[in-house]
Amino acid sequence: MANPTAAMLVIGDEILSGRTRDSNMNYLAKELTRVGIDLCEARVVSDDRKAIIKAVKALSAAYDSVFTSGGIGPTHDDITAECIAEAFDTPIGIRDDARALLEAHYARTGAELNDARLRMARIPDGATLIDNPVSTAPGFTIQNVHVMAGVPAVFEAMVSSVLPTLTGGQPLLSQTLRIERGEGEIAGPLAQLAADFADLSIGSYPFQSNGIYGAHIVIRGHDGAQVDAAMTRLSEMFA
C-alpha cells in the first residue's frame, strides 16, 4: 500500500523577504521520511488572510496530513489561528485549557499574562492542543491540519509531539554514489537505469569543488533489495 501523504505550509512575510531562512521544512521532511510519510508538497505564503485560508483548504483536501509553521505568536501579524478557524468554518476563542497552561508558565517566570500573550490561547473549537515543552504556548490540530510555531526549536518539539499520533508507512531508503563525470556524459546510462528500476527514484545532483566536478547519484525507494540492486548496477556502470 502507498505511504500516507503530507504537505507543509510555511507562513510568514519574513520568509518570503529573505530576512529569515526557513529550516523547518528540512527538519519535517527528514522526520516524515523516517516514519514512512511522504512529504509531497511545500508552500510558502505571506501573512495574508486570503492566501493562508486558500492554501489550507487546498492542502487539507489533497493530502492526508498538513503541517503549518508560523503565525501563532502574540503580535498583531500572528493571524494563522484565525485563518485556520475560518478555513474550517469554526469559531475561535481563548480556551480554558490553553489559558491554564499560559497562566502556569507566566506564574513560574514572574512575567505578566497580558492581552498580547493571551492571544496564544486562541484555539478553534474542536481542536486538540499540541504540546510545547519549550515555551508552553500550544499549537493545535484540527481535522488533518497541525498548526505549529515558526521558531525552529518549538516547531521541532511540536513535530515530536504530533508524529506518534500519526500512522506511518514504509520508511524511504536511500544510497548515494559520487561520480566525477559531467552530467551530460552520464545522463544516457542513468536514464536506462531509471527505466530498469521504475519503482525507484533516481536523482542526479551536480557538484563542483576545488576544480573537481561531477554528480551525486541518489537512489531512493522502499524496497531495500531493489535499492541495493540498482546501486550495484550503478557502481558497475561507472566503476
**CB burial class (10 A; 0-12, 13-18, 19+) of residue 67?**
buried
Domains of the chain from N-terminus onward: 5-165 (3.40.980.10), 173-237 (3.30.70.600)
Q: How does pLDDT run across 178-202, given as a tens digit for each residue?
A: 999 999 999 999 999 999 999 999 9
Q: Radius of gyration (Cα) for the chain, nearest Å?
A: 22
Instruction: Quickly tell me which residue has 489559558 as its cell.
Output: 99
Q: Which pLDDT score, from 0 to 100, does residue 239 have?
A: 84
d(CA 42, CA 48): 17
Residue 49 has pLDDT above 80, yes or no: yes
Q: How does pLDDT run across 81-140, given as a tens digit for each residue?
A: 999 999 999 999 999 999 999 999 999 999 999 999 999 999 999 999 999 999 999 999
Contacts of 234 (CB under 8 A, 6+ apart): 177, 193, 217, 219
Q: Which pLDDT score, from 0 to 100, does residue 96 have?
A: 97
Question: pTM, whole model, 2 decimals?
Answer: 0.88
Q: Which pLDDT score, from 0 to 100, does residue 196 have?
A: 97
